[in-house]
Amino acid sequence: MKAWICKAFGDAPMLIDCDEPFAQSRDVIIDIAACGVNFADTLILEGKYQKRPQGPFAPGFEIAGTVSAVGPNVRGLKIGDRVMAMPDWGGYGEKIAVDAESVTILPDNVEFNSAAAFQIAYGTSWFGLKYRANLQRGEVVLVHGAAGGVGLTAVECARLLGATVIATAGGEPKCAIAKAHGADHVIDYKSESIRDRVKEICAGIGRTGADVVYDPVGGDVFDQSLRCVAPGARILLIGFASGSVPQIPANILLVKNVAALGFYFGAYLEQNPDISKAGMAELLDLLSSGKISPMVSAVYSLSDAMVALEAIRNRTATGKLVIRCGE
Protein backbone atom coordinates (compact mmCIF):
# COMPACT_ATOMS: atom_id res chain seq x y z
CA MET A 1 0.00 0.00 0.00
CA LYS A 2 1.00 3.64 -0.38
CA ALA A 3 0.86 6.29 2.35
CA TRP A 4 2.31 9.71 3.12
CA ILE A 5 4.79 8.94 5.90
CA CYS A 6 6.39 11.51 8.20
CA LYS A 7 9.52 10.02 9.75
CA ALA A 8 10.17 12.80 12.28
CA PHE A 9 8.28 15.88 13.47
CA GLY A 10 9.05 18.81 11.22
CA ASP A 11 10.07 16.64 8.26
CA ALA A 12 8.07 16.74 5.04
CA PRO A 13 6.03 13.55 4.53
CA MET A 14 6.93 11.30 1.60
CA LEU A 15 4.56 9.11 -0.42
CA ILE A 16 6.09 5.65 -0.07
CA ASP A 17 5.24 1.96 -0.26
CA CYS A 18 4.38 0.49 3.15
CA ASP A 19 3.40 -2.89 4.56
CA GLU A 20 -0.35 -3.42 4.67
CA PRO A 21 -1.86 -3.31 8.18
CA PHE A 22 -2.99 -6.46 9.98
CA ALA A 23 -6.33 -6.83 11.77
CA GLN A 24 -5.63 -7.67 15.39
CA SER A 25 -8.25 -8.97 17.83
CA ARG A 26 -10.71 -6.06 17.80
CA ASP A 27 -9.51 -4.24 14.68
CA VAL A 28 -10.97 -3.80 11.25
CA ILE A 29 -9.01 -2.97 8.13
CA ILE A 30 -10.56 -0.20 6.05
CA ASP A 31 -9.70 0.39 2.41
CA ILE A 32 -9.71 4.19 2.54
CA ALA A 33 -11.77 5.82 -0.18
CA ALA A 34 -11.56 9.39 1.13
CA CYS A 35 -9.83 11.34 3.88
CA GLY A 36 -10.75 14.81 5.10
CA VAL A 37 -8.03 17.47 5.37
CA ASN A 38 -7.81 19.50 8.59
CA PHE A 39 -5.63 22.26 10.03
CA ALA A 40 -4.68 19.82 12.79
CA ASP A 41 -2.90 17.73 10.14
CA THR A 42 -0.31 20.50 9.90
CA LEU A 43 0.09 20.56 13.68
CA ILE A 44 0.63 16.83 14.12
CA LEU A 45 3.32 16.88 11.43
CA GLU A 46 5.16 19.55 13.44
CA GLY A 47 4.73 17.73 16.76
CA LYS A 48 2.45 20.49 18.04
CA TYR A 49 -0.79 18.52 18.27
CA GLN A 50 -2.35 17.21 21.49
CA LYS A 51 -1.44 13.65 20.50
CA ARG A 52 2.05 12.77 19.33
CA PRO A 53 2.68 9.53 17.41
CA GLN A 54 5.74 7.49 18.32
CA GLY A 55 7.80 6.72 15.23
CA PRO A 56 6.92 7.19 11.55
CA PHE A 57 3.26 7.96 10.85
CA ALA A 58 0.79 9.24 8.28
CA PRO A 59 -1.43 12.25 9.10
CA GLY A 60 -5.20 12.11 8.60
CA PHE A 61 -7.94 12.11 11.24
CA GLU A 62 -11.19 11.35 9.39
CA ILE A 63 -11.76 8.67 6.82
CA ALA A 64 -14.45 6.80 4.93
CA GLY A 65 -14.15 3.57 3.00
CA THR A 66 -14.91 -0.15 2.88
CA VAL A 67 -14.11 -2.84 5.44
CA SER A 68 -11.70 -5.34 3.86
CA ALA A 69 -10.80 -7.46 6.92
CA VAL A 70 -12.03 -7.97 10.48
CA GLY A 71 -10.30 -9.21 13.62
CA PRO A 72 -11.47 -12.44 15.29
CA ASN A 73 -13.28 -10.64 18.13
CA VAL A 74 -15.10 -8.02 16.06
CA ARG A 75 -18.89 -8.09 16.13
CA GLY A 76 -21.36 -6.05 14.10
CA LEU A 77 -19.04 -5.33 11.19
CA LYS A 78 -18.24 -7.43 8.13
CA ILE A 79 -16.17 -7.32 4.98
CA GLY A 80 -17.80 -5.02 2.45
CA ASP A 81 -19.45 -2.66 4.94
CA ARG A 82 -19.31 1.01 3.98
CA VAL A 83 -18.01 2.87 7.04
CA MET A 84 -16.47 6.01 8.49
CA ALA A 85 -14.02 6.46 11.37
CA MET A 86 -11.88 9.04 13.15
CA PRO A 87 -8.45 7.50 13.81
CA ASP A 88 -5.77 9.29 15.81
CA TRP A 89 -3.74 9.49 12.57
CA GLY A 90 -3.08 7.42 9.45
CA GLY A 91 -5.70 8.63 6.98
CA TYR A 92 -3.32 9.78 4.23
CA GLY A 93 -2.94 6.29 2.81
CA GLU A 94 -4.71 3.45 1.04
CA LYS A 95 -5.50 1.26 4.08
CA ILE A 96 -5.74 1.58 7.85
CA ALA A 97 -6.33 -0.60 10.91
CA VAL A 98 -8.74 0.90 13.45
CA ASP A 99 -10.52 -0.24 16.61
CA ALA A 100 -13.92 -1.57 15.59
CA GLU A 101 -15.56 0.42 18.41
CA SER A 102 -14.62 3.65 16.63
CA VAL A 103 -16.20 2.65 13.31
CA THR A 104 -19.66 3.73 12.17
CA ILE A 105 -21.62 2.11 9.33
CA LEU A 106 -22.75 4.61 6.69
CA PRO A 107 -26.30 4.92 5.39
CA ASP A 108 -26.55 3.87 1.74
CA ASN A 109 -27.27 7.42 0.57
CA VAL A 110 -24.13 8.94 2.16
CA GLU A 111 -21.18 8.92 -0.23
CA PHE A 112 -17.57 8.60 0.86
CA ASN A 113 -16.44 12.17 0.18
CA SER A 114 -19.24 13.60 2.32
CA ALA A 115 -18.58 11.12 5.12
CA ALA A 116 -14.88 11.96 5.17
CA ALA A 117 -15.58 15.68 5.06
CA PHE A 118 -18.16 16.01 7.82
CA GLN A 119 -17.00 14.10 10.90
CA ILE A 120 -14.52 16.46 12.54
CA ALA A 121 -15.82 19.80 11.26
CA TYR A 122 -19.50 19.17 11.97
CA GLY A 123 -18.68 17.17 15.10
CA THR A 124 -16.63 20.04 16.50
CA SER A 125 -19.39 22.56 15.81
CA TRP A 126 -22.38 20.45 16.85
CA PHE A 127 -20.89 19.12 20.08
CA GLY A 128 -19.18 22.42 20.88
CA LEU A 129 -22.25 24.60 20.41
CA LYS A 130 -24.95 22.24 21.65
CA TYR A 131 -23.26 20.32 24.44
CA ARG A 132 -20.26 22.41 25.57
CA ALA A 133 -21.56 25.97 25.14
CA ASN A 134 -25.20 24.99 25.78
CA LEU A 135 -26.44 27.22 22.97
CA GLN A 136 -30.11 28.12 23.36
CA ARG A 137 -32.68 29.01 20.71
CA GLY A 138 -32.82 32.77 20.15
CA GLU A 139 -29.26 33.49 21.29
CA VAL A 140 -26.69 35.35 19.19
CA VAL A 141 -23.64 33.40 18.02
CA LEU A 142 -20.47 35.05 16.69
CA VAL A 143 -18.63 32.63 14.37
CA HIS A 144 -15.05 33.39 13.34
CA GLY A 145 -13.31 31.93 10.28
CA ALA A 146 -16.80 31.40 8.92
CA ALA A 147 -15.77 30.51 5.35
CA GLY A 148 -13.36 27.79 6.45
CA GLY A 149 -14.08 24.09 6.79
CA VAL A 150 -14.94 24.31 10.50
CA GLY A 151 -16.43 27.81 10.53
CA LEU A 152 -18.99 27.02 7.83
CA THR A 153 -20.25 24.07 9.85
CA ALA A 154 -20.61 26.31 12.90
CA VAL A 155 -22.82 28.68 10.89
CA GLU A 156 -25.03 25.79 9.79
CA CYS A 157 -25.19 24.11 13.20
CA ALA A 158 -25.97 27.38 15.00
CA ARG A 159 -28.87 28.01 12.61
CA LEU A 160 -30.18 24.46 13.13
CA LEU A 161 -30.09 25.13 16.88
CA GLY A 162 -32.18 28.28 16.43
CA ALA A 163 -29.55 31.00 16.91
CA THR A 164 -28.95 34.31 15.14
CA VAL A 165 -25.55 34.05 13.45
CA ILE A 166 -22.98 36.81 13.01
CA ALA A 167 -20.12 35.51 10.86
CA THR A 168 -16.65 36.93 10.27
CA ALA A 169 -14.49 36.18 7.24
CA GLY A 170 -11.68 37.83 5.28
CA GLY A 171 -12.68 39.41 1.98
CA GLU A 172 -15.88 39.72 0.01
CA PRO A 173 -15.82 36.23 -1.63
CA LYS A 174 -15.45 34.49 1.73
CA CYS A 175 -18.12 36.68 3.31
CA ALA A 176 -20.46 35.70 0.47
CA ILE A 177 -19.84 32.01 1.20
CA ALA A 178 -20.73 32.49 4.87
CA LYS A 179 -23.87 34.39 3.91
CA ALA A 180 -24.91 31.68 1.45
CA HIS A 181 -24.63 29.06 4.17
CA GLY A 182 -27.02 30.80 6.53
CA ALA A 183 -25.24 33.63 8.34
CA ASP A 184 -27.70 36.38 9.26
CA HIS A 185 -24.98 39.05 9.37
CA VAL A 186 -21.45 39.02 7.93
CA ILE A 187 -18.41 41.06 8.95
CA ASP A 188 -15.35 41.42 6.73
CA TYR A 189 -12.58 41.56 9.31
CA LYS A 190 -10.15 42.91 6.70
CA SER A 191 -12.10 46.15 6.35
CA GLU A 192 -14.29 46.35 9.47
CA SER A 193 -13.82 46.29 13.22
CA ILE A 194 -15.27 43.07 14.60
CA ARG A 195 -15.88 44.66 17.98
CA ASP A 196 -17.68 47.73 16.64
CA ARG A 197 -19.77 45.87 14.06
CA VAL A 198 -20.94 43.21 16.51
CA LYS A 199 -22.05 45.92 18.93
CA GLU A 200 -23.82 47.75 16.12
CA ILE A 201 -25.59 44.61 14.86
CA CYS A 202 -26.65 43.54 18.34
CA ALA A 203 -27.97 46.99 19.17
CA GLY A 204 -30.08 46.84 16.01
CA ILE A 205 -31.76 43.61 17.14
CA GLY A 206 -32.19 44.64 20.75
CA ARG A 207 -29.27 42.65 22.20
CA THR A 208 -26.30 43.75 24.29
CA GLY A 209 -23.73 41.54 22.55
CA ALA A 210 -22.97 38.01 21.40
CA ASP A 211 -24.10 35.23 23.74
CA VAL A 212 -21.74 32.60 22.33
CA VAL A 213 -18.47 33.07 20.43
CA TYR A 214 -17.11 30.24 18.27
CA ASP A 215 -13.40 30.92 17.87
CA PRO A 216 -11.03 28.69 15.87
CA VAL A 217 -8.71 31.64 15.20
CA GLY A 218 -7.44 33.16 18.47
CA GLY A 219 -5.12 36.16 18.55
CA ASP A 220 -6.66 39.58 17.93
CA VAL A 221 -9.96 37.98 16.95
CA PHE A 222 -10.35 36.64 20.48
CA ASP A 223 -9.40 40.00 22.00
CA GLN A 224 -12.07 41.80 19.98
CA SER A 225 -14.65 39.13 20.79
CA LEU A 226 -14.12 39.54 24.51
CA ARG A 227 -15.12 43.19 24.17
CA CYS A 228 -18.38 42.66 22.32
CA VAL A 229 -20.04 39.85 24.24
CA ALA A 230 -23.14 40.04 26.39
CA PRO A 231 -23.02 39.49 30.15
CA GLY A 232 -22.99 35.74 30.83
CA ALA A 233 -21.54 34.92 27.40
CA ARG A 234 -19.61 31.76 26.61
CA ILE A 235 -16.50 31.93 24.43
CA LEU A 236 -15.76 28.56 22.83
CA LEU A 237 -12.05 28.13 22.11
CA ILE A 238 -11.73 25.73 19.17
CA GLY A 239 -8.18 26.44 18.00
CA PHE A 240 -5.58 29.05 17.15
CA ALA A 241 -5.31 29.24 13.36
CA SER A 242 -3.82 32.72 13.66
CA GLY A 243 -0.80 31.19 15.37
CA SER A 244 -1.34 33.35 18.46
CA VAL A 245 -2.72 31.86 21.68
CA PRO A 246 -4.74 34.49 23.60
CA GLN A 247 -3.64 35.59 27.04
CA ILE A 248 -7.06 36.04 28.62
CA PRO A 249 -7.58 39.04 30.93
CA ALA A 250 -9.45 37.36 33.76
CA ASN A 251 -10.77 40.67 35.08
CA ILE A 252 -13.02 41.02 32.01
CA LEU A 253 -14.33 37.48 32.49
CA LEU A 254 -15.08 38.36 36.11
CA VAL A 255 -16.81 41.70 35.52
CA LYS A 256 -19.09 40.41 32.74
CA ASN A 257 -19.57 36.88 34.12
CA VAL A 258 -18.11 35.49 30.89
CA ALA A 259 -16.92 31.91 30.56
CA ALA A 260 -14.01 30.91 28.32
CA LEU A 261 -14.52 27.24 27.40
CA GLY A 262 -11.84 25.08 25.84
CA PHE A 263 -13.10 22.45 23.43
CA TYR A 264 -10.97 19.64 22.02
CA PHE A 265 -13.37 17.40 20.12
CA GLY A 266 -11.34 14.18 20.24
CA ALA A 267 -10.89 14.29 24.01
CA TYR A 268 -14.54 15.26 24.51
CA LEU A 269 -15.67 12.11 22.69
CA GLU A 270 -13.43 9.95 24.89
CA GLN A 271 -14.53 11.69 28.10
CA ASN A 272 -18.26 11.63 27.32
CA PRO A 273 -19.01 8.31 25.58
CA ASP A 274 -22.78 8.44 26.08
CA ILE A 275 -23.10 11.97 24.73
CA SER A 276 -20.71 11.03 21.94
CA LYS A 277 -22.88 8.22 20.64
CA ALA A 278 -26.06 10.30 20.81
CA GLY A 279 -24.45 13.33 19.17
CA MET A 280 -22.86 11.39 16.33
CA ALA A 281 -26.18 9.65 15.68
CA GLU A 282 -27.83 13.08 15.49
CA LEU A 283 -25.22 14.29 13.00
CA LEU A 284 -25.41 11.22 10.80
CA ASP A 285 -29.19 11.60 10.68
CA LEU A 286 -28.83 15.27 9.71
CA LEU A 287 -26.38 14.29 6.96
CA SER A 288 -28.50 11.43 5.66
CA SER A 289 -31.63 13.60 5.60
CA GLY A 290 -29.87 16.44 3.77
CA LYS A 291 -30.25 18.96 6.60
CA ILE A 292 -26.48 19.39 6.60
CA SER A 293 -24.31 19.09 3.53
CA PRO A 294 -20.52 19.43 3.66
CA MET A 295 -19.15 22.01 1.26
CA VAL A 296 -16.38 19.99 -0.40
CA SER A 297 -14.62 22.71 -2.34
CA ALA A 298 -11.87 20.53 -3.82
CA VAL A 299 -10.96 16.86 -4.13
CA TYR A 300 -7.31 15.83 -4.49
CA SER A 301 -5.70 12.55 -5.47
CA LEU A 302 -3.52 10.81 -2.88
CA SER A 303 -0.44 11.88 -4.83
CA ASP A 304 -1.50 15.54 -4.47
CA ALA A 305 -2.23 15.38 -0.74
CA MET A 306 0.53 17.86 0.11
CA VAL A 307 -1.02 20.41 -2.26
CA ALA A 308 -4.25 20.15 -0.26
CA LEU A 309 -2.35 20.46 2.98
CA GLU A 310 -0.60 23.61 1.80
CA ALA A 311 -3.96 25.20 0.94
CA ILE A 312 -5.01 24.58 4.54
CA ARG A 313 -1.71 25.83 5.92
CA ASN A 314 -1.79 29.14 4.05
CA ARG A 315 -5.54 29.63 4.64
CA THR A 316 -6.48 29.92 0.98
CA ALA A 317 -8.97 27.05 1.15
CA THR A 318 -12.68 27.55 1.61
CA GLY A 319 -15.06 24.85 2.75
CA LYS A 320 -13.66 21.35 3.10
CA LEU A 321 -10.86 19.63 1.20
CA VAL A 322 -10.88 15.88 0.61
CA ILE A 323 -8.14 13.49 -0.47
CA ARG A 324 -9.40 10.64 -2.63
CA CYS A 325 -7.22 7.75 -1.47
CA GLY A 326 -8.79 4.93 -3.45
CA GLU A 327 -12.01 3.48 -4.78
β-partners of residue 165 are 141
Cβ-based burial of 54 (10 A; exposed 0-12, middle 13-18, buried ≥19): exposed
Helices (H) and strands (E) in the chain, counts: 10, 15
Q: How confident is the model at residue 327 (pLDDT cuts 50, 70, 90)?
A: low
Residue 4 pLDDT exceeds 80: yes
148 phi, psi to nearest 5 deg: -80, 175
Q: Is 129 helix (H, G, I), strand (E, B) or coil?
A: helix
Q: For residue 277, what pLDDT is reported? A: 84
Average pLDDT over the chain, rounded to whole? 94
Residue 15 pLDDT exceeds 80: yes
DSSP summary character for residue 135 = -
Q: Is 160 helix (H, G, I), strand (E, B) or coil?
A: helix
pTM: 0.86
The mean per-residue pLDDT over the stretch 69-88 comes to: 95
Q: How confident is the model at residue 200 (pLDDT cuts 50, 70, 90)?
A: very high
Domains in the chain, CATH or no CATH each: 2-119+267-324 (3.90.180.10), 134-262 (3.40.50.720)
* Contact criterion met (CB below 8 Å) for 270 and 295: no
- C-alpha 26/C-alpha 7 separation (Å) is 27
Residue 286 pLDDT exceeds 80: yes
The mean per-residue pLDDT over the stretch 241-249 comes to: 87
Helix (H) or strand (E) segment spanning residue 222: helix 219-226
The mean per-residue pLDDT over the stretch 29-37 comes to: 97
Pairwise pLDDT comparison (171 vs 148), residue with the higher score? 171
Q: Is 234 helix (H, G, I), strand (E, B) or coil?
A: strand
In the chain, where do the E strands start and end? Answer: 2-5, 14-17, 27-36, 63-70, 82-85, 95-99, 103-105, 140-143, 164-169, 185-188, 210-215, 229-237, 259-262, 296-301, 320-324
DSSP summary character for residue 6 = B
The mean per-residue pLDDT over the stretch 302-311 comes to: 95
Q: Is 202 helix (H, G, I), strand (E, B) or coil?
A: helix
Q: Is 284 helix (H, G, I), strand (E, B) or coil?
A: helix
